Structure 1
């Protein structure tokens, strides 16, 4: 039996509609009927990747189903899965893990040595078949149940939400009243970053972006305390807002040369820079190039624990989830709008 799907067949080429065999669950797996899939800019980066180029085409083989933000309902249970029922809503943790390496034992599945390839992970939708299909098979321990809730609203959380959460939680516990935190890039991930910092700390948030409407949205709708237009004078504006002290936490969802340099220029001693953005940028760090004792980390992926926590915040109604919904036959159009920055929320494909 076959199913419809949307694949990346060749590097440097757009994804294509095609079919694939309907997967069969093993004894510890769940067959999920996909209801919604969020689209990510990393999908676009993969489709534009030339053969052999970093970070994707140098370590992954094409020919996989796209889509790593997946939510749906239980269609079929493996023989050993007894705590879920057919029709129950579930969200898929796209980060796969072996369960027995050093990092998995420590609850750091995003660093699983078995699935690591270069600087990235082989995940559903990136190297292995993802969610842009009618069905996907997932090990039980890579699912989180959301009961009878509509799974559609959870699709953007499975990467955009939890990647932002993981990146911000690297410094949120360190923030104190009176501190400043910067969020660079108020797009599909940055909008969650602003929310998490405001929700879970007493820090004052400075939102940075190149698009005026995103800055307005960050301040009026998400609660950012200050906004700064990205540009050559952004560092001076941030230093003025902080009265010269600099910022205590910063998350860069762009990850290009300019934003990483901005981060290093404004962080203060003992501050923390978290960079989940995979824009291909780099920055020179060293004496007089970043505050002494400040920390810098490239943030990769998330854990199942973090996914459960983000889903719980959503179930309690504490998280704003903005979506631009598209039908199955609008996948290319949705990717085009995503690439052009024309979306107001996360692009979500309804699979019906």
Structure 2
């Protein structure tokens, strides 16, 4: 039976992904049958958002094992693991999901390995949905009443197993009756805020206003923003956070204007092996993503382009990190370590 998820559907022998490159103009689903197909969908932005990338990678590895049948083993899956790991380097959820499947499949081979990996991929998917709901409740409690919230990129049901991280907080606040409006930055160059966040919120009649990214500072200065809520693709051990390019600038603006800057992400986004944000690999993408929009040129064809997909926000600029298991206020190495210690004690 398919898992009820807006953008990722598991059908036991293949995966369906809502192709986010075409939203909001049309709805198309991609059928994925192996690891190469999953990696291509991740690399080409058909699926995006750190939790959704991790879920997709898990299903991709399971499909590869199921396809190998009696020949499946961690050794024969090595090329598939390498292909998936190389699809996008910044989102730690990708590597976390692959490592989780490898640990559980270490003692299995053949068809039993494929079945086990498929069950575990489903568990990762379902766990992410539940985590988003818990995270949403915890984060909504941090917002002022009747809040006007600025958000960046897309962190909703399209980017996760369902409900969302930063957008999950926004959804929970709306359902709780203490959200007035969402302000969505367009999020160049892929325009995830314009194409995806506005689309998601309008599906649920949540008030949203789209703005150019460069309007954020003016809105804050005018007193039209009460909090900034964003997601994360990797959180270092000291609380430094990698997220969609433009996040760092928003954090600086929020600090200058005395606004809460809240980061929302599942616990799987925490990377205790990464000491600080300086070690996070920042993916650089193709120049034409900036030179063109929708295939139409905006700049001279040979104009040099620097196109980092992410930036790093220092922990000192973050008011709180919200996960499904708790809130880390004023994050630093000590508070993140305490949060991770609580997680280890629970497990």
Higher relative contact order by CA 8 Å / sep ≥ 6: 1 or 2? 1
Question: Higher strand proportion, which one?
Answer: 1
Give the TM-score taking structure 2 as reference length. Answer: 0.40
